[in-house]
Amino acid sequence: MSLSISQLVNHSVAGSNPSNVTSSELVAGEVEIVGAGCGQLDLLTIKAARIISQADALVYDSLVSSDILSLVSVDCERHFVGKRCGQPSYKQDDINSLLAKLAFQGKKVVRLKGGDPHIFGRGAEESLFLAKNGLISRFTPGVTAALGCASNTGIPLTFRGTARSVTLVTGTKFDQAPTHWKALLAAESTLVFYMGKEQAKAISAGLLAVDSPADLPVAFITNGGRPNQLVTYANVSTMAEQAETIKDSGPTLIIIGEVVAVGQELAALLADVSATSMAEVVNG
């Protein structure tokens, strides 16, 4: 059976699986905590799109794009609770209380978060609060920024002989103790810092202090997965200076490791292929 995108979004899977765990049907008085993915509408899962379109009340973050919000019905209540670094924002306790209030009102509530609810998304915190207050919540996964940004830039997070693991680190708060940085390096893992642009100087200093190679490649991906995506390359010794050149206020992810060089090599090769193809077209 072949379905269009709109048919997929509206296609009911109820009955195809007896388990409520995988149902795409919202239940009044419950909360679905949904990952909006990394960037635009086409990076949203089909299940997430179905769930969003059924909401009576939507509680959403700053990183949710406007085209995803277009899935919401005109009758749905919208509650913006975005948090941005250095700007006034909602307290987590207030968000928790709002979710509970809406659910107790018998609404079909969707808590919509950028990326995935379980990757620096506080989804579990909200679910625990709701459960402690007698309310049911469920999760719908999303494409987290590390995966979305890596794919959109051609940077592999793992690569045979180079990186066998990936470490996801919050860039807003982290332990500056040398043991922390040594542990990150010892893992021989690709490092991915979420929301770390403002901490680039501290990250650089921490890594260099435990003998990280100064020329270890770094990539800053700003507005990952969106039309205005910006990629800025550096290394551990220059990343603080390069971070200051990024004037866009959009979310920035940092990837550190030799895999960045792999991505750069791929980009250069693809550029050569494109240039050759274009020349062949021009020359007939």
**What does the domain layout of the chain look like in residue ranges?**
5-143, 146-268
Is the pLDDT assigned to residue 84 strictly greater than 80? no
Pairing of strands 137-140, 217-222: unpaired
Q: E strands along the chain, which residues? A: 31-35, 57-60, 77-80, 109-113, 137-140, 166-170, 190-194, 217-222, 230-235, 252-256
The mean pLDDT of the chain is 89
> Residue 284: pLDDT above 70?
no
- The mean per-residue pLDDT over the stretch 128-137 comes to 98
End-to-end Cα separation, the chain, in angstroms: 41
Residue 92 pLDDT class (50, 70, 90 cuts): very high
Residue with tokens 């048919």: 7
Q: Please give the CATH number for the structural domain made up of 146-268.
A: 3.30.950.10
Average pLDDT over residues 113-135: 96
What is the structure's pLDDT at 185? 85
State pLDDT tens for residues 194-249.
Answer: 988 999 999 999 999 999 999 999 999 999 989 999 999 999 999 999 999 999 98
Q: Do domains 5-143 and 146-268 have the same CATH topology?
A: no
What is d(CA 82, CA 93) in angstroms, rounded to the nearest whole number? 13
Whether residue 172 is predicted with pLDDT greater than 90 in this model: the reply is no
pLDDT at residue number 186: 82
Domain 5-143 classified CATH 3.40.1010.10?
A: yes
Q: Return the active site residues.
A: 61, 83
CA distances from 88 to 91, 195, 232 (A): 9, 16, 28
Q: For the residues 146-163, what does the mean pLDDT come to?
A: 95
